[in-house]
Amino acid sequence: MKFYAKGKLLLTAEYAVLGGAKALALPTKLGQSLEITETTSGIITWKSVDVNGQLWYENSFDIKTFAPQQQNDAIGQRLQQHFLAINEVNPTLLVDTDGLLFVSALEFDRNWGLGSSSTLVSLLAQWSEVNPYVLLQKVFGGSGYDIACATAEGALLYERTNAIHPTVTAVDFNPSFKDQLFFVYLNQKQDSQQAVAAFDSGMLTPQKMNIINGLTQSFLVNLTLVDFQDLMTQHEAIIASLINTTPIQKRLFNDYPGIIKSLGAWGGDFILACGAVDTPNYFAQKGYNTCLTYQTLIDN
């Protein structure tokens, strides 16, 4: 059996999506696959392969208790949590199983924050036929927009109307100036769980919710480049007020001639830079060498 899940980028409503704001999210071309083979080993064997095809993680688990063979291992403990949650929801899944080999393979650098965790949740949910949002809440928590992206065909509007049955709507997001949109990796991975835990939902007033919802809808209109950049600036300002943090452009890239917007948890992972074709050179000179075009990461 083989399953596939796409990575994700959150274009609007970062943090606010947790409180039910409408968010525009983009599944990425790059994702993660999971191949599962039945064995007679009497155990569950797990192997993870990175983007270069190199084995970077391996462990074995008891087929009844799911206890990892390597005990002092955060990844093993997290995988055990997944198996326990799956078994709780679907207790007959492994009743007649003599052994399993799981091999996961990433298509992107696992430090990039494109969804190594969310794609894994989706893959295990696909295999076990468990609601992926249920599995997410049992293991990680979070808004769930990344779970929606994992199996989406294209851009989507995500609304956390219900933690395990959110509202997901396919939308047309195809800016005419996408050759001027770049995704820049900030050389550090953000811990999404910490960002979720640190967010004070009390700061999301009805007024701010309405502003963010309006901005999200505005991104879907047939915009000019100037209008798009204005929306980016407005969105950065409202989220900055929500989490009491200075926008990334003011902090690190004040001399950038275009407009920059954070994506997802602020301070790490990817940002969206809107500018001229020499944008990659600007960021490379500042030590940020991963600058991906819209076509490379999003456009199918």
Token pair 């599962």: residue: 36
d(Cα 272, Cα 292) in Å, to the nearest integer? 10
Average pLDDT of the chain? 93
pLDDT score, position 114:
92
Please check the confidence at residue 176 and state whether its pLDDT lies above 70.
yes
Half-sphere exposure for 210 (CA within 13 Å, toward CB): 3
d(Cα 240, Cα 202) in Å, to the nearest integer? 15
Confidence band of 300 (pLDDT split at 50, 70, 90): low
Report pTM: 0.94
d(Cα 264, Cα 114) in Å, to the nearest integer? 10
Domain ranges (residues) in the chain: 2-169, 174-297
| Beta-bridge mates of residue 62 | 43
Confidence band of 191 (pLDDT split at 50, 70, 90): low
In the chain, the percentage of residues whose pLDDT exceeds 90 is 85
| Beta-bridge mates of residue 48 | 57, 104
Query: Over the stretch 193-223, which tens digit does the pLDDT of each residue have?
Result: 666 666 777 789 999 999 999 999 999 998 9
Q: Please answer whether residues 23 and 13 qualify as being in contact, where contact means their C-beta atoms are separated by less than 8 angstroms.
A: yes
pLDDT score, position 265:
84
Query: Over the stretch 267-293, which tens digit does the pLDDT of each residue have?
Result: 778 999 999 999 999 999 999 999 999
Protein fold of 2-169: Ribosomal Protein S5; domain 2 (3.30.230)
pLDDT score, position 256:
97
**Distance (Å) of CA 169 to CA 114, 158, 279:** 21, 7, 32
The dihedral built from the CA positions of residue 199, 201, 207 and 212, taken in this order, carries a sign that is positive
d(Cα 130, Cα 45) in Å, to the nearest integer? 21
Residues 287, 291, 297, CA angle at the centre, nearest 5°?
155
Protein fold of 174-297: Alpha-Beta Plaits (3.30.70)
The dihedral built from the CA positions of residue 133, 135, 138 and 140, taken in this order, carries a sign that is negative
Mean pLDDT, range 114-125, rounded to an integer: 96
